[in-house]
Structure 1
Amino acid sequence: MAYEFPTLPYPETGLEPHISANTLQFHYGKHHAAYVTNFNNLVKETPLDSLPLEEVIKTTSGDKDKVGIFNNAAQAWNHTFYWHCMKPNGGGAPYGPLADKINADFGSFDEFKTAFKQAGATQFGSGWAWLVLDSGTLKVTKTGNADNPLTQGQVPLLTMDVWEHAYYLDYQNRRPDYMETFLNSLVNWDFVAEKFAAA
């Protein structure tokens, strides 16, 4: 039961001018596609083949004999989640119960933004910044390489990819500019609110 390469929730031009179609052609069309292909090849005709991707991630996390499976499974999942965390004409501030919870747990939306950008800026090398729900509390965290909060029992609500291939064609070495643009012009707060409500 091969894991299917998911379709983008918008056209490759949908996030312009903030993220170019050129970036998505490489990031989605090459990097994400390769993770899916590699994962399917690695688990073919094994017991992991029939498990949901989330279960494969949790099952193989920390298993040195299954590092390749974990890396490709987690990166396939992380990227699908990341695409949904953005939308055309996104950004701005959240609303409703999610906004109330952010204010309660971080002090203000601005303090959340500062913490989120700090997580992205201080992730040395490749990785991800996350907003998660952890035992009922919203937290900002970061993970290196393919790792994600599912392995820590946390509920991912929002992620920002800080691997260089996510932004380098558009922003070169200006990761802070990419992060600012992500929050101001790209975040799909509707998606984040849905994940929060479901948690």
Structure 2
Amino acid sequence: MSNGILKSESLQVLPFLPYAENALEPVISAKTIGFHYDKHHKGYVDNLKKLVAGTRFADMTLEKIMSETAGKSDNIAIFNNAAQTWNHNFYWQSLRPSGGAELAAVLQKKIEVSFGSLDACKKELAAAAMAQFGSGWAWLVMDSDMLKVVKTANAEVPMTMSMKPLLTIDVWEHAYYLDYQNRRADYVKAVLDTLINWEFAAENLGC
């Protein structure tokens, strides 16, 4: 599995947020970050540690656990908690205060070749985020030599489809409901306009 810029992730600790809990306000409130990071994200880490204790997965990285358990019905709980831990690690890096800034030239060119323009890319990301029925994720990925937008349900990850993730938007309700209630479109637009971390995407692309 190709996991982009994130280093091989241990499941033993909850990674630090890359910014303060209130750093993404007013788009995402400190209260939402507090519940999302301290309850949901931490819950996946804690559940995973319990599930793998005493098993062959206990000392594996998250990426290795996902690779070993993807599509295996007898290990679905382990995969779900490993993938959701990894997805959240990646999501926090996909956002930054004062995001949505100017793109690196190589990423800009790749986006223009793949989508026509940055606006077209953002529209596809927004459409994928809105089209995901129920819980899931919208992703900008590298697929072969082209960029694509894909959506995944629940804990699924692009790596199981041999795609390299560049950035993601969490569309599970706990990511936005305290701030936006059922207005997922408003949350997605605000993230894409002001918080999305194109530098992280460029680093994952290798720019």
Per the TM superposition, whether the score is higher than 0.5 is yes
RMSD across aligned positions (CA): 1.2
Counterpart secondary structure, 1:183: helix
Partner of 1:131: 140
Partner of 1:85: 94
Partner of 1:121: 130
Structure 1 length as normaliser, TM-score? 0.96
Give yes or no for contact 1:85–1:159 (8 Å, CA) kept in 2.
yes
Identify, as 1 or 2, the structure richer in helix.
Answer: 1
| Structure 1 ranges of 4+ moved more than 4 A | none
Deviation, 1:83, is 0.2
Partner of 1:68: 77
Residue 105 (structure 1) aligned with residue 105 (structure 2): no
Residue of 29, 39, 45 corresponding to 1:36: 45
Query: Structure 1 stretch 45-54 or stretch 22-31: which is displaced more?
Result: 45-54
Counterpart secondary structure, 1:128: strand
In structure 1, list runs of 5 or more residues that go unmatched: none
Structure 2 length as normaliser, TM-score? 0.93
Residue of 9, 22, 25 corresponding to 1:13: 22
Matched residue pairs, number? 198
Deviation, 1:77, is 0.2
Deviation, 1:36, is 0.2
Query: Structure 1 stretch 122-131 or stretch 39-48: which is displaced more?
Result: 39-48
Deviation, 1:18, is 0.7
In structure 2, list runs of 5 or more residues that go unmatched: 1-9
Q: In the aligned structure 1, how far is the partner of 2:103 from the partner of 2:178?
A: 29
Partner of 1:96: 105
Deviation, 1:94, is 2.2
